[in-house]
Amino acid sequence: MNHVFSLIYTIAQRLISAALFGILLLLSFAVTSGMGDQAYFGFYRYDYLFFCAVLIQVLMLYLKLESLNEAKVIALFHVMAMCMELVLTAPHIGSWQYPEPAVLKLLTVPLFAGFMYSAVGSFFVRAIRLFEVSFICLPRLYHMSALAILAFINFMSKFFIIDIRSVLFIWSIFIFWRTKVLFKVNQNNIRLPILPILVFFAFLIWIAENISTFYDIWVYPNQAYGWRLVWLGKIGSWYLLLLLSFVSVLVLLGKRQSNGSWRMREHFIGHKKR
């Protein structure tokens, strides 16, 4: 029994460590919630959230919780996120909006917004390293890349042409059905199917989304006159976003072998585990 508790404790500890960027962002949302839309020394709440996010990233690099190579990968998520945000918050679409003013913003999007997606990338990068993750029966690169690219496009194109998310869900199940994630905890080798893990993480992000909207970080149209629980169907959107992040990290951090196995590249493995 002690062995089981030790295993669970270690897994929880590493998951919290992997999610550190996102956890600190959520804490900053709560801490700054009382600032409202008032300016302090010429900057607003969203601007200070940007400063907090940059500080978190700098500290993670300084404390060697992330390597420079990993930070470069995570920066890519920030750029991708800003592209999606600019489209989805445009006045003629208005999937959600940022209700408070900001100095540091690009059109309708405060600059800190990209860091919320970077937190997802940071989690995957750190979790793969901390758990010494590898994969078996991973789909071919062109299958995964095509799925990720279409998921990214569909987030924005569904407002202009047909929404193909149902096709993307079925496609993801078809190509990842046999994929297993292998990781090591306390000298125990564990093997789990990847799809339930992605669904579980999508649910956790949905919870984080509810916390974020509760603190008015962004609001959906039905929350304009008061907070409401985010629609459960958003878990599907987060699942597709996780697929996009997951595939991007796999392509950038490691290499798929011809037999379907995957391992992280040496210059990422060599970074000190924390």
Decide which of 105 and 4 is more confident.
105
Q: Kindly indicate the confidence band of residue 271, based on its pLDDT and cuts at 50, 70 and 90.
A: low
- 83-117 b/e (C-beta count within 10 Å ≥ 16 → b): ebbebbbeeeeebbbbebebeebeebbbbbbbbbb
Q: Tell me which of 62-76, 84-98, 131-145 is least confident.
A: 62-76
- Report the number of distinct structural domains present in the chain: 1
Q: pLDDT per residue over 99-121, tens digit each?
A: 999 999 999 899 999 888 888 88
Q: Is 68 a member of any domain?
A: yes
Q: Is 274 a member of any domain?
A: no
* 116 and 213 Cβ atoms separated by less than 8 Å: no
Mean pLDDT of 49-66: 91
CA pair distance 45, 94, nearest whole angstrom: 21
Q: Provide the residue range defining the domain that includes 200.
A: 2-269
Mean pLDDT of 116-138: 87
Q: Is 20 a member of any domain?
A: yes
What is the per-residue pLDDT for 209?
A: 94
Decide which of 254 and 179 is more confident.
179
CA-based nearest residue to 191, from 236, 125, 135, 244: 135
Question: Does 27 score more than 90 pLDDT?
Answer: yes
Q: Tell me which of 36-50, 127-141, 197-211 is least confident.
A: 127-141
What is the per-residue pLDDT for 264?
A: 72
Q: Kindly indicate the confidence band of residue 157, based on its pLDDT and cuts at 50, 70 and 90.
A: confident
Q: What percent of the chain lies above the pLDDT cut of 70?
A: 95
Q: Kindly indicate the confidence band of residue 184, based on its pLDDT and cuts at 50, 70 and 90.
A: confident
Q: Is 77 a member of any domain?
A: yes
Q: Could you say which DSSP state residue 139 is in?
A: P
Q: Is 66 a member of any domain?
A: yes
Mean pLDDT of 4-23: 87
Question: Does 10 score more than 90 pLDDT?
Answer: no
What is the per-residue pLDDT for 212?
A: 94
Phi-psi region of 184 (alpha: psi -120 to 50; beta: other; left: phi over 0): beta
Q: Kindly indicate the confidence band of residue 268, based on its pLDDT and cuts at 50, 70 and 90.
A: low
Question: Does 206 score more than 90 pLDDT?
Answer: yes
CA pair distance 11, 269, nearest whole angstrom: 19
Mean of pLDDT over the chain: 87
What is the per-residue pLDDT for 74?
A: 81
Q: Tell me which of 28-32, 36-40, 66-70, 83-87 is least confident.
A: 66-70
What is the per-residue pLDDT for 111?
A: 92
